[in-house]
A and B are shown apart, each in its own frame.
Chain A
Amino acid sequence: MERTRTRSRRTVAVVAACAAGLLMVSGCASAHGGKAAQQRAAALAAGHANTPRIKIAMITHSAPGDTFWDLVRKGAQTAASKDNVDLIYASDPNSANQANLVQNAIDQKVDGIAVTLADPNAMKNVVAEAEKKGIPVVGLNAGETAWQSEKLLEFFGQDESIAGEAFGRKLNSTGAHHDLCVIHEQGNVSLEQRCAGIKKTFKGKTDILYVNGADMPSVKSTITAKLQQDHSIDVVATLGAPFALTAVQAVSDAGSKAKVATFDLNQDLVNGIKAGSIEFAVDQQPYLQGYLAIDGLWLYKYNGNFSGGGTQPVLTGPAFVDKSNVATIAKFAANGTR
């Protein structure tokens, strides 16, 4: 009792002191964490090409602020600075708007376009127009089934269904019987494909749960509710790294024993895998997708190379990250590039 009181009194004191500390900032310096503690690894920097500067546009269907697409962009940026490329990055989740952005790039007379075919039909006309104007177009991430018919030069990525299927097989090896596939954006094709892939190969039962990805507390309580409703769920599969960490909290709130596995990576997730709160993550290496797409266009421009001979995609995944290999990944994830 006495101890609690002292502690709460101390809390009040610290709070008050820190309110004043807004004026005298240094008084409240945190002894732990923060930027001061971050050891910034040297940014990925390869050599620098001396080919003439060219302009390449990357147009994706990313929503603003998406962690995954941020990595794709970083990869593309790294390749661009290495290859002396002026990178124009633009994105819009609405396919009609995305097509307009491609048209915009064509109007700018870029030397190459990297595009995602989340909605192949919407992109068909603008891609054809780019090709007519002699602008090489490569695909990345989404559109593994359509890139050949739309005559894209090459394709870097990983089919979402294949990744889902691999995920399902991996789940089989953990001995799970009933998984919950959490879709954080209702109606998103690639997310639905991932869950469909899991369902295909996973031997147990697969349930799908839609949550509002734009509202974390809602994600948490919805997963909690589902786990309370169905106690037989023994693994939660999330489709994005931030949701996996939330799912871990939901599992403990619901008093469930379910494990959590996820698609995609970020630094906190790597720590989660290290700590054992997250079983594994399947990584399609977005950084690599972005990097290869730009590098591929550059190689085509200056050396006529292209991967896969126009028939085979370049697969960037699935790569699994679990306790056995997390240590090697961890330092890259800390840089925000994995």
Chain B
Amino acid sequence: MADATAPAAPPAKDTPPHTTRRSPLRRLLARPEVGALVGAIVVYLFFFAVAPPFRQLDSLATVLYQASTIGIVALPVALLMIGGEFDLSAGVAVITSALTASELSWQLTQNIWVGVFAALAVSLAVGALNGFLLMRTGLPSFLVTLGTFLMLQGLNLAVTKLLTGNVATDSISNMDGFNQARKVFASTVDIGGVDVKITVLWWLGFAVIATWVLLRTKFGNWIFAVGGDRASARSVGVPVGFTKIALFMSVGFAAWFVGMNQLFSFDTVQSGEGVGNEFLYIIAAVIGGCLLTGGYGSAVGAVIGAFIFGMVTQGIVYANWNPDWFKFFLGVMLLAATLVNLWVRRQATRR
């Protein structure tokens, strides 16, 4: 019963060439964000060539601002997709958060920060509710969050109308704490002579954190596992419910942050806004290499996806093209991104 009889001795037959180290190129291609990165470079060079104003650093700052407001939410949405779920309520949740902060401060005549933190609590609660309903009912997240999406949309409008009599909130720009909050959520930073919106810095900061969490922590491992194979994850002791609820709450957090940016950039909030943005977040994540079926993707990819989205949106304007075609280009990009992902996935799982 010693190791002598262990089959370690002649493993030659069991290690045919396919178990040898994969080539570096193959390994690189297996990274989820590679397809998106290639796409981003192509799109950048393309607009760099055809649109002279696009070459200015100021223009890049504008592109980045657009990308950041999509990208901040796209990050947790990407993690959530890796975890195997969708959140269709993210777009209107941004507005819900902004409305909460604005209305609470204004109606009760409180310092802005009271509203800001109350909005955070509400946003996290919405995320937790999504996750809880998902785990409790066993319905697909597509359905659960479609429900919350519609509910929030209705609440946004109805509660705003109820409180203000209007469909938009009152301006809070002269209230205490507004200027501080604006510094945090919506100021502009001078970087080398270029005015960069602070959301861009937050976005990149969040991206670093999200990447670290995804690849370097236990929780990140669990995200891949619950999205890749929920039953397997559960059977080896991964807390599936906790992981999913936490992911939904992180989407809530991002929605809160972008909601605050919106509130402090524009002073007021239109209650009907945000509809449709949930798809932009998902598009950014998918372009960035997240699989719709879960279990695969990256946070960096979502950053690149949002950046591509920003470049195309603004690039068409810089190039002074007929904007009627914008949606068409977006559609082409989404399809192409999905095909690249499919191909990459095949490469990754090929024997």
**Cβ-neighbour of A218 out of B69, B112, B173, B176 (below 8 A):** B69
Chain A proximity of B22: nearest CB distance (Å): 41
Q: Which residues of A contact B51 (CB under 8 A)?
A: 229
Give Cα distance in the complex from A128 to B127, angstroms. Answer: 49
Would you call B267 and A66 a contact (CB within 8 A)? no
Give Cα distance in the complex from A28 to B115, angstroms. Answer: 10
Would you call A228 and B172 a contact (CB within 8 A)? no
Would you call B58 and A15 a contact (CB within 8 A)? no
Chain A proximity of B301: nearest CB distance (Å): 21
Give Cα distance in the complex from A222 to B309, angstroms. Answer: 12
Q: Which residues of A contact B160 (CB under 8 A)?
A: 65
- Known contacts A34-B105, A215-B277: A25-B271 contact under CB 8 Å: no
Mask: chain A, 1-28; 1 = CB below 8 Å from B; 0 = not: 0000000000100110011011001001
Give Cα distance in the complex from A30 to B121, angstroms. Answer: 20
Would you call A35 and B108 a contact (CB within 8 A)? yes
Give Cα distance in the complex from A268 to B175, angstroms. Answer: 15
Give Cα distance in the complex from A22 to B133, angstroms. Answer: 27
| A33 close to chain B: CB less than 8 A | yes
Would you call B110 and A30 a contact (CB within 8 A)? yes
| A38 close to chain B: CB less than 8 A | yes
- Known contacts A14-B180, A32-B176: A21-B110 contact under CB 8 Å: yes
Partner-A contacts on B (CB < 8 A):
51, 53, 56, 58-59, 62-63, 65-66, 69-70, 105-114, 116-118, 121, 153, 156-157, 160-161, 164-168, 170-177, 180, 183, 195, 258, 261-262, 265-268, 270-277, 280, 310, 313-314, 317-320, 323-324, 326-327
Would you call B317 and A229 a contact (CB within 8 A)? yes
Would you call B326 and A210 a contact (CB within 8 A)? yes
Would you call B114 and A18 a contact (CB within 8 A)? yes
Would you call A34 and B109 a contact (CB within 8 A)? yes
- With A18-B177, A33-B109 given, name 14 new contacts (CB 8 A): A30-B177, A31-B176, A34-B175, A38-B170, A67-B270, A210-B323, A212-B276, A216-B266, A217-B66, A220-B265, A222-B317, A230-B320, A254-B58, A267-B171
| A336 close to chain B: CB less than 8 A | yes
Give Cα distance in the complex from A64 to B10, angstroms. Answer: 72
Q: Which residues of A contact B323 (CB under 8 A)?
A: 186, 208-210
Instruction: Say whether chain A's binding surface is mostly helix, strand, loop, or mixed.
Output: helix
Chain B proximity of A135: nearest CB distance (Å): 29
Would you call B266 and A224 a contact (CB within 8 A)? no
**Cβ-neighbour of B324 out of A28, A32, A210 (below 8 A):** A210
Would you call A19 and B117 a contact (CB within 8 A)? yes
Would you call B175 and A336 a contact (CB within 8 A)? no
Partner-B contacts on A (CB < 8 A):
11, 14-15, 18-19, 21-22, 25, 28-38, 63-67, 70, 186, 208-210, 212-218, 220-222, 224-226, 228-230, 242, 245-246, 249, 253-255, 266-268, 271, 336
Q: Which residues of A contact B166 (CB under 8 A)?
A: 67, 70, 336
**Cβ-neighbour of B317 out of A64, A215, A226, A245 (below 8 A):** A226
Give Cα distance in the complex from A22 to B53, angstroms. Answer: 47
Would you call A33 and B157 a contact (CB within 8 A)? no
**Cβ-neighbour of A228 out of B58, B113, B273 (below 8 A):** B58
**Cβ-neighbour of A245 out of B116, B164, B266 (below 8 A):** B266
Give Cα distance in the complex from A258 to B275, angstroms. Answer: 30
Would you call A32 and B265 a contact (CB within 8 A)? no
Give Cα distance in the complex from A25 to B107, angstroms. Answer: 12
Chain A proximity of B90: nearest CB distance (Å): 12
